[in-house]
Amino acid sequence: MNQINDFAFKMGTVNGTGSASANSILMQAIFRMGIPVTGKNIFPSNIQGLPTWYEIRVNKDGYTARPPVIDLVVAINPATYKKDVATVRPGGYLMYDSSWPLPAELVRTDITILGIPFGQMCVEAFQRDRDRTLLRNIAYAGALAALLEIEMDVIHEMLHEKFGKKKALLDLNFTAIRLGYDYAKANFACPLPFHLKRMDATSDFVIMDGNTACGLGAVYAGATVGAWYPITPSTSLMEAFKAFCEQYRVDTATGKNKFLIIQAEDELSAAGIAIGANWAGARAFTNTSGPGISLMQEFIGLAYFTEIPCVFFDVQRVGPATGMPTRTQQGDLFSLAYASHGDTKHIVLFPCNPEDAFYQSVTAFDLAERFQTPVFVATDLDIGMNDWMTRRLQWDDSYTPDRGKVLTAEDLEKMKSFSRYLDVDGDGIAARTLPGVHPKGAYFVRGSGHNKHGAYTEDSAEYQEVLDRLDHKLRVAADHVPAPEFHRQPGASVGLVSLGGCHAAVLEAVDRLRDQGIVADYMRIRAFPFADAVKTFLLQHPNTFVIEQNRDAQLRALFAIETGVARDRMTAVLDYGGEPLTARVVVNAVASHLDGARS
Amino acid sequence: MTSIAKPQIRHPGLLKNALGLTKQDYEGAMSTLCAGCGHDSVTAALVQAFWELDCPPHRAAKMSGIGCSSKTTAYFMKNSHGFNSVHGRMPSVTSGANAANRELMYIGISGDGDSLSIGLGQLSHAIRRNVRMLYVLENNGVYGLTKGQFSAASDIGSTSKKGEANVQAPIDPCLLALTLGATFVARSFSGDKAQLVPIIKAGLAHNGFALIDVISPCVSFNDHEGSTKSYKYTREHEVELTSADYVPLRSAITLAEAAKNETDGPTTVRMHDGSLVRFRNTHAGYDPTNREEAWLHVRQCQKRSEVATGVLFIDESGQDMHAVADTVSTPLADLPYSALCPGAAALDTLMKDYR
């Protein structure tokens, strides 16, 4: 088997000991060698002392999903030795810290065990306890460089960029890298059968996480007000927005800020602030995760019923309740699609990676103002917090924000009077005014029953007229939200449907299924409510598999509710343990279902 | 129905303000509150204050939550923007609106249920954020719209209409605001328009969060013998610590005169827009610019079963939310997109950092 530029390795370490920085150096070095690479951080909800893993997949064909197989494990954390050694494929390798005798639980006869005395070498080489701990990680990176042929020049260049201004620190890191590198060279046959070879396949790409992309998207969309309450895995989105605002949004003449970020007392308040700011005419957003979405429900209903635009980023994590805050899931589909009490329905966008998240973030602000309604950008922890090799982001300077139907002072001046909820154009969207613009534009926003003029009502017919128009508006929106993406093949016998962070694994699964003779068409859902093309695809494929990361097959249920396609016509492929999806899960589920159907 | 239009018959001789508007122009829909409700008196005071301040109605935003008090935003300034949001959450919506457009005049109307129970967190944090707004807390010590439950402002021993006595300690919004660092804290009585109107005007001129706790009796559920928020009880126990006089910037002569008096003592405060608030201390030794003493005085009044009223504390040196955030003077909502988007070239450059 040719495993040049096609393998995966995994580090099992203790969080808070500096392994994250060594792991990211490894991933980035491979990227700079022009080789497609993916990093998945499987980390605990904890600051220091608990097990954490980092998986790096190298793939010359550009598959970026979580690796289905692990070829090499670096076992640094004794607490997880047993679990870690079990994940090595037969014939693979295990690297451990041989400062201590080989523990019995690491012994496996079908793999090669590489012992390197990282602890002992670091104690001898470094004086301070802190350095001895932190630099052990850099030492294993050095050993991997020797075993996998990561170019030392690239690593040196990166260490220079990172520590260039701190000579002492730079020297320590150089020493540590050499410790691991030299030991591996002297004691093992380097390189291993699977290793790296420089390519030129990453020049159109960058390494970025989805939260950064969303924060950047909000800046490019022209958002000026951000409100939030800290919550994993969404926090870094607002941190990114803040950093980009500090970079791009400080008035050069006055030094004053062209943005205002409010860390609210809770998610309810964050939603209220974002809605209030949108009402007053700014582009504003809030970012949160499932528990925050639960808390925001009442406000979401208010924005829907009073028709105030607002963008919500939901970086989904494992629920219910506190769930597993540092693990990924797509469990919020129900609570987003129909958020809040009463009859509601909302626009939800499902980016599949950081690149898509950047562009869809901008789209979200346009849709929110065009349809004067809440819009959710539903990513997940995998997209939001993991480093993805994603296409270089580009911007079209001819873009102008779609502010929707907003009456100007001139418009109002010409009007005899203004009624807030009149559907003049037949698309369900009534023109709005912004406070302070013109005396004729003043109206009363009320979450209570109102008629098409915006006046309070308890009259059934008047109330229903408004509610029916809202329904019509969301139906119109279905044709304006991002259309589904189709990957069709001639002779396809099955249909795969998925969304969000599952995309990379499903794309890979389509290829692996084809290797087995199963030809599949694939539809990636990009938004809710669904366009007609979604129903057509489902009807065209009697053998449809709906792949998603939750227990209750929420996407499949939404299809049944919204398209009328019978639930049982669609086979649910569910993976909801909290880790990013692999192609193997999809392939096995589809293949075994088809086998079962045949026998 | 909570909004019934009023007949639009005008007396030709009605007085007009500097904008050429009559007091009627500052009225709203017909109140649907109970006859004699204290809230309607507050509404009348608000109409008077906004009319006297020559406020263009469409430059004011009336914000509220849910409850009898929150309904009153519909009963004044019909030509202003109104926002009846969700229960206890008006402060956050106002914070956001103010973040987007700092130039509008924000007036929040809330009640003791809306502010001190479901919305206690939002009130507290709007104070901490120092959002520039006038926050009128129409305090009747009872849940009116749900028919007579005790609120968090009910005094221990105060009885409900059915005779049940309240056993939980009340939250005093003024003490709370003083503790949280509010820079304008006042208390008044809906039945005392002469006191309330200048306080409202001073609160609107304040450069930050201005709280006015207005004791506003509920004639249906909390105006009986045994209630400590009744007209009778409040009239008998009101102790005016300060009597405020608001001197607007535009009246040059009065201002010059007032400025002369500024040297008299700590009782004249110059607001950030140049207008003045003059205090006549009706209570010996009361200094409305000393937070610690203000707190102590209010507590001492409470111990004597007195309701301390007037501007209890004022500090014009504080920084509002925008000053703290160091935002541009143009409302964020008015910034053109070209001033907000970094553009394609910047993105190309930025991408190098992610390689």
Could you tell me which of B210, B229, B238 has the C-alpha nearest to residue B107?
B210
Q: Does residue A480 surpass a pLDDT of 80? A: yes
Name the class of domain A6-187.
alpha beta
CA-wise closest residue to B289 among B259, B316, B320: B316
Q: What are phi and psi of A91, to 5 degrees?
A: 85, 0
Confidence of residue B242 (pLDDT cuts 50, 70, 90): confident
**pLDDT at residue A62 greater than cutoff 80:** yes
Q: Best interface-test mutation with A: which of B26, B50, B58 has the largest number of A CBs within 10 A? A: B58
CA distance A150 to A195: 8
CA atoms of B81 and B94, how far apart (whole Å) = 12
Least Cα distance to A275 among A266, A265, A267, A286 occurs for A286
Among A334-338, A558-562, B4-8, B160-164, which is the least confidently predicted range? B4-8
Q: Does any domain span residue B14?
A: no
Give A437 to chain B, closest Cα distance, Å. Answer: 8
CATH architecture group of domain A485-598: 3-Layer(aba) Sandwich (3.40)
CA–CA dist B227, A400 (Å, integer): 60
Question: What's the number of CA atoms in the CB half-sphere (13 Å) around residue B267?
Answer: 19
Residue B9 located in a structural domain: no
- Cβ of residue A523 closer than 8 Å to a chain B Cβ: no
Q: Is some CB atom of chain B closer than 8 A to the CB atom of A273?
A: yes
| CA atoms of B294 and A50, how far apart (whole Å) | 51
- Please give the pLDDT value at position A16: 87
pLDDT of residue B3: 58
CA A592 vs. chain centroid, Å, equals: 29
User: Domain of B200: which CATH number?
Assistant: 3.40.50.970
- Contact between B100 and A271 using a beta-carbon 8 Å cutoff: no
Note whether A435 contacts B58, CB cutoff 8 Å: yes
Residue B260 pLDDT: 54
- For the residues A331-337, what does the mean pLDDT come to? 98
Residue among A5, A66, A485 nearest A202 (CA): A5
Work out how many domains chain B is built from and give that number. Answer: 1
Distance from CA of A410 to the nearest CA of B (A): 15
B4 touches chain A (CB under 8 A): no
**Is the peptide bond between A320 and the residue preceding it cis, with omega within 30 degrees of 0?**
yes
Q: What is the pLDDT of residue B278?
A: 78
Residues of A in contact with B351 (CB under 8 A): 206, 392-393
Q: Spell out which residues of chain A touch residue B332, defining contact as CB-CB under 8 Å.
A: 224-225, 258-260, 277, 282
Residue A87 burial (CB count, 10 A):
17
Is the preceding omega at residue B12 within 30 degrees of 0, hence cis? Answer: no
Residues of A in contact with B322 (CB under 8 A): 260
- The answer to whether position B2 is within a domain reads no
Residue A506's pLDDT is 98
Please indicate if any CB of chain A lies within 8 Å of the CB of B83.
yes
Q: Which of A449, A411, A448, A410 is nearest to A431 (CA)?
A: A411
The 3-state secondary structure of chain B, one letter per residue: CCCECCCCCCCCCCCECCCCCEHHHHECCECCCCCCCHHHHHHHHHHHHHHHCCCCHHHEEEEECCCHHHHHHHHECCCCEEEECCCCCHHHHHHHHHHHCCCCEEEEEEEHHHHHCCCHHHHHHHHHHCCCEEEEEEECCEECCCCCEECCCCCCCCECCCCCECCCCCCCHHHHHHHHCCCEEEEEECCCHHHHHHHHHHHHHCCCEEEEEEECCCCCCCCCCCCCCCHHHHHHHEEECEEEEEECCCCHHHHHHHHHHHHHCCCEEECCCCCEEEEEECCCCCCCCCHHHHHHHHHHHHHCCCEEEEEEEECCCCCCHHHHHCECCCCHHHCCHHHCCCCHHHHHHHHHHHC
Residue from A456, A457, A458, A459 to probe the interface with B (highest B Cβ count within 10 Å): A456
Q: Of the CATH numbers 3.40.50.970, 3.40.50.2000, 1.25.40.10, 3.30.479.10, which one belongs to the domain with range A208-391?
A: 3.40.50.970
Other Cβ atoms less than 10 A from the Cβ of A338: the count is 17
The answer, yes or no, to whether residue A277 has pLDDT greater than 80, is yes
What mean pLDDT comes out for the span A110-130? 96
pLDDT score of B256: 54
Of A244, A271, A400, the CB nearest to B337: A400
With a cut of 80, say whether residue A312 has pLDDT above it.
yes
Strand, coil or helix: A483 = coil
Q: Which of A64, A87, A69, A62 is nearest to A12 (CA)?
A: A87
In this complex, the residue of A208, A248, A439 whose CB is nearest that of residue B342 is A248
Identify the band that residue A371 occupies on the pLDDT scale cut at 50, 70 and 90.
very high
Measured in angstroms, the CA of A596 and the nearest CA of chain B are apart by 46
Between B285 and B43, name the one with better pLDDT. B43
Q: Kindly report the number of other CB atoms within 10 A of residue A159's CB atom.
A: 22
Measured CA angle at A475 (ends A473, A477), to 5 deg: 70
A430 half-sphere exposure, CB direction, 13 A CA radius: 19
A15 vs B327, which has greater pLDDT?
B327
What gap in Å lies between CA B159 and CA A163, rounded to an integer? 70
Pick from B2, B89, B96: CB nearest A277? B96
* A268 inside 8 A of chain B by CB: yes
Contact B81 A442 (CB under 8 A): yes
**How many angstroms separate the CA atoms of B62 and A497, rounded?**
48
Give the sign of the dihedral formed by CA B295, CA B300, CA B305, CA B311. negative
Percent of chain A whose predicted confidence (pLDDT) is above 70: 100
Question: Which residue of chain B comes nearest to A435, CA vs CA?
Answer: B81
Residue B289 vs residues B33, B183, B279, B292: alpha-carbon distances, Å: 37, 9, 11, 9
Interface test with A, best of B68, B71, B84, B107 (most A CBs within 10 A): B84
Q: How far apart are CA B79 and CA B141, in angstroms?
A: 31
Which residues of chain B from 123 to 142 reach within 8 Å of chain A, CB to CB?
124-125, 129
Is 90 exceeded by the pLDDT of residue A493? Answer: yes
Q: How far apart are CA B179 and CA B292, in angstroms?
A: 9
Taking the C-alpha atoms of residue A525 and residue A506, their distance in angstroms, rounded to an integer, is 12
A235, A263, A289, A383, A555 from A231: Cα distances, Å: 5, 11, 7, 16, 25
B79 touches chain A (CB under 8 A): yes
- B59, B93, B324: best to mutate for the A interface, most A CBs within 10 A: B93
The per-residue pLDDT for range B126-173, each reduced to its tens digit, is 999 999 999 999 999 999 889 889 999 999 998 888 889 999 999 999
Please report the residues numbered 352 through 391 in chain A whose beta carbons come closer than 8 angstroms to any beta carbon of chain B: none
B2, A256: Cβ pair inside 8 Å?
A: no
Three-state DSSP class for A255? coil
Query: In this complex, do B81 and A392 lie within 8 Å of one another by their Cβ atoms?
Result: no
Task: Write out the two tokens for B62.
Answer: 């009336």
Six token digits for residue A568: 């049982």
In chain A, which residues fall in CATH 3.40.920.10?
6-187
Q: List pLDDT tens digits, range A142-182.
A: 999 999 999 999 999 999 999 989 999 999 999 999 999 99
pTM over 0.90: yes
Lowest mean pLDDT among A199-213, A225-239, A368-382, B229-243: B229-243
- What ipTM was predicted for this assembly? 0.96
Instruction: Tell me which amino acid residue A278 is.
Output: N
Nearest to A539 by CA among A518, A515, A523: A523
Give the whole-number percent of chain A exceeding pLDDT 90: 96
Q: Is the pLDDT of residue B253 over 70?
A: no
Is B346 in Cβ contact with A275 (below 8 Å)? no
pLDDT band at B254 (very low <50, low <70, confident <90, very high): low
Instruction: Tell me: pLDDT of B1 over 80.
Output: no
Asked if B94 reaches chain A (Cβ–Cβ under 8 Å), the answer is yes
* Contact state of A272 with B339 under an 8 Å Cβ cutoff: no
CB pairs under 8 A between A and B: 222
Contact criterion met (CB below 8 Å) for B256 and B250: no
Q: Where do we find the tokens 């030795």?
A: A81
Mean pLDDT of chain A: 97
pLDDT at A278 > cutoff 80: yes
Q: Would you tell me which residues 192-251 of chain A have a C-beta closer than 8 angstroms to some C-beta of chain B? A: 206-208, 216, 219-220, 222, 224-225, 227, 244, 247-249, 251
pLDDT digits (tens, 9 = 90+) for A404-446: 999 999 999 999 999 999 999 999 999 999 999 999 999 999 9
> In A206-346, which residue ranges form alpha helices assigned H by DSSP?
210-221, 235-248, 267-279, 290-306, 333-337
Task: Judge residue A510's burial from the number of C-beta atoms within 10 Å of its C-beta, 0-12 exposed, 13-18 middle, 19 or more buried.
Answer: buried
Residue B266 has pLDDT above 70, yes or no: no
Query: The domain containing residue B303 runs over which residues?
Result: 23-325
B324 touches chain A (CB under 8 A): no
Nearest-by-Cβ selection for B82 from A225, A257, A445:
A445
For A504, phi then psi, to 5°, come to -60, -45
pLDDT of residue B279 exceeding 80: no
Asked if A32's CB is within 8 angstroms of B334's CB, the reply is no
Torsion sign over Cα B114, B116, B122, B126 = positive
User: Is the minimum CB–CB distance between B74 and chain A shorter than 8 Å?
Assistant: yes
Confirm whether B283 is domain-assigned: yes
The residues in A 289-318 lying below 8 A from B, measured between CB atoms, are 298-299, 302
Please say whether the beta carbons of B330 and B285 come within 8 A.
no
* Cβ pair A308, A372 in contact under 8 A: yes
